[in-house]
Structure 1
Amino acid sequence: MENLQIAIEKARAIRQEQAALAQMPTAVASTAEQNWNALPELEIDPTTLIAKRVMTQKSNAHSSHYDMLRTRIRDQAKKNNWRRIAIVSAGPQVGKTTTLTNLAFSFGRLPYHKTMVFDFDLRRPSLQTLLNHHPTTQIDDVVEGRTPFEAHCCRVGENLAFSLNAQPVANSAELLQSDGMSDFLSGVQDIYEPELMLFDTPPLLAADDTRGFLSNIDAALLIVEAERTPIDQIDVVEQQLSELTNVLGVVLNKCNYPDPTSTANYEYY
């Protein structure tokens, strides 16, 4: 009888421990949800976005290629447990930021999938221009503890948030490579639990900002411009990226000749 009582008590203790563990993710998720919803909401004029070639606020013929890219990124991220993706280019003016913004709004349409976007092209921040927003805070003040993140980051709708900068950041390479930046990103991930964090980064060959920052991310997506980015430059950048992080893929931007194998070219819409 005594052995039975011991077994019963042991089983009860295990059951109570399992019940407590089962409740923990719900509590954490609830807190993360509250933190996310507490971010100030940013209202964006859709016509402004369209004028800046951001076409993915709604699902349509113009969004289809970005939606396909979104799905491929999401699938690879889930498969490899990647949360942080850097958007990279070899040089400037290839459409990197526009591609990122279209991807961001495409991800923003996914239900129950929170995406947080960071403008880390700190020498020439331009994401706020595409969104026609005038931020009053800077990411360096957030990382260095002078401004709370919740006063800096803005939420667009339910599933998308942006960290924007109004002007260039001094000592950008040192900031991006600092231990403070690493701690900051870990803290954001723990508190808000976004499924994906996307980073607009400086051109890889222009400065050492991106090279030093890539240790903080899981994978990089390379944007190249059709008929302008040299093939040998693509090879060099892809090789450098592969030495620093995982290469998610290469996006050929501004292409005048559609891929004949892509179903997005069919008259679906």
Structure 2
Amino acid sequence: MKDMMTGAGPLDSFTQKLERDDPFAMTQQGFKRFRRRKGRDTLEPEHDGALTEQGESVSQSGLNNDATARDMAAPAAKAMSRLAQENEGSRFARRPKPQQSQPLEELANTDPKPQQLPATLPEMWERLQRVPLDIRAHKASRSPLVNFFRNSPTANAFDLLRTRLLHSLKAQGWKRVAIASPTAGCGATFSAVNLALSMARVPGTRTVLMDMNFRRPGVASALKLPPSGDMPGFLAGAVTLADHLVRPAASLAVGLTAAPDRNAAEILHDGRCASVIDDMVLSTGADVTLFDLPPVLEHDDAAAFLPQVDGVLLIADGTRTTAAHLVACEKMFDGQTQLLGVSLNRARGSGLLQYSQ
């Protein structure tokens, strides 16, 4: 028994016999191989020794390839993770904050804010420059205007003419009246100014008086206003309506002519003249527009302007106008416009001579 346990020969033969009988027995050489492999793949399932020896080189190369793949995939994985975090942050940054809903009672008690609209401009009539009449100067010079002698027969005559003319215009739907005389010196400007002042006293009525007598303009002188108007420029469209018309009274606007113009007929023949007059009547909202024209039988100015008016009020002079003059005027108006009537100025024995001289 002692020889069997301590002797080298029998023990070695026993070990070799054991390895032959059991190839999976743990030998010293197999134990060393086990220790080397333990730290590398502890999680891998154990294989038999024969397979381990044959695939050791293949496993080693596979591990090296796996490590290289992991090293290459690590930066890409980090970049993908960082991009995902940025997208997630931007998605939450763009998301609007949820609004807290208010109770219906609070919404009902909330007053709506008033809308601030742009300020509207006043109408054209209110934008016209106000040039009040110098009443003291008129009274000192005893101007023959109906506003300063209201109780005289002349004032009563103009008020009656005003009423009849307004009735006729309203019945026909007309607004434009030309005031002219057969020859010069019959008092057409005197009648046009006083008729305009009388109409301006009618409540709610707007009256426009235009000095179209380019031969002898006299409206500014009769009203004692500065002769600063540029009627040719206005009719040509070079001067605006707000810059040309002035208002000597709340319900009266006048267009003045500063100086005579030898091209009077050509100005009235211009096609722009008609469009300017149409725009003026529409913009001002005038109820009546009076046009002081030059003499009918002396020049063709009035004939050129007749298509722009609804009718003509003819002013006759009791001291110089004849029946032939009136017949000639009627023939000229025929087919052009309507003769609204004939007003007799300076009638003998009527007491009006002192106001028209």
Shorter-chain TM-score bucket reads 0.7 to 0.9
Q: Cα–Cα, structure 1 residues 227 and 196, in superposed 2: closer, same or farther, change >3 Å?
A: same
Q: Which amino acid aligns with 2:274?
A: S
Matched, 1:70 2:165: no
CA RMSD of superposed structures (Å): 1.9
Inter-partner Cα distance in structure 2 for 1:246 and 1:48 = 38
Q: Which residue of 2 aligns with 1:165?
A: 257
Q: CA deviation at 1:156?
A: 1.9
Q: Which residue of 2 aligns with 1:24?
A: none
Q: Which residue of 2 aligns with 1:52?
A: 143
Q: CA deviation at 1:178?
A: 1.6
Inter-partner Cα distance in structure 2 for 1:153 and 1:177 = 21
CA displacement, residues 200-254 of structure 1 (integer Å, 9 cap, x when unaligned): 0010011100001000000000000013211111121122223321010000101
Q: Which residue of 2 aligns with 1:183?
A: 275
Q: CA deviation at 1:77?
A: 0.4
Q: CA deviation at 1:170?
A: 4.1
Q: Report the count of equivalent residues.
A: 229
From 115, 123, 126, give the equivalent of 1:37: 126
Q: Cα–Cα, structure 1 residues 84 and 156, in superposed 2: closer, same or farther, change >3 Å?
A: same
Q: CA deviation at 1:60?
A: 2.6
TM-score of the superposed pair, with normalisation by structure 1: 0.80
Matched, 1:215 2:307: yes
Inter-partner Cα distance in structure 2 for 1:97 and 1:230 = 20
Q: Cα–Cα, structure 1 residues 49 and 70, in superposed 2: closer, same or farther, change >3 Å?
A: farther
Q: Cα–Cα, structure 1 residues 58 and 109, in superposed 2: closer, same or farther, change >3 Å?
A: farther
Deviates more, 1:128-137 or 1:177-186: 128-137
CA displacement, residues 54-74 of structure 1 (integer Å, 9 cap, x when unaligned): 123574334110000000110
Inter-partner Cα distance in structure 1 for 2:148 and 2:280 = 25
Matched, 1:251 2:343: yes
CA displacement, residues 103-160 of structure 1 (integer Å, 9 cap, x when unaligned): 0100010111000000000121111111111232311111223221211111122110
Residue pairs, 1:1-269, within 5 angstroms = 34-49=123-138, 51-56=142-147, 59-61=150-152, 62-258=154-350
Inter-partner Cα distance in structure 2 for 1:119 and 1:102 = 13
Unpaired runs of 5+ residues, structure 2, are 1-119, 352-357
Q: Cα–Cα, structure 1 residues 48 and 242, in superposed 2: closer, same or farther, change >3 Å?
A: farther
Query: What is the SS of the residue equivalent to 1:190?
Result: helix
Q: CA deviation at 1:256?
A: 2.7
> Are the aligned partners of 1:173 and 1:212 in contact in 2 as well (CA < 8 Å)?
yes
Q: CA deviation at 1:48?
A: 4.3
Q: CA deviation at 1:177?
A: 1.9
Q: Which has the larger radius of gyration?
A: 2
| Identical-residue share of aligned pairs (%) | 28
Runs of 4+ in 1 over 6 A off after TM superposition: none
Inter-partner Cα distance in structure 2 for 1:49 and 1:189 = 30
Q: Cα–Cα, structure 1 residues 161 and 52, in superposed 2: closer, same or farther, change >3 Å?
A: same
TM-score of the superposed pair, with normalisation by structure 2: 0.61
Unpaired runs of 5+ residues, structure 1, are 1-29, 260-269
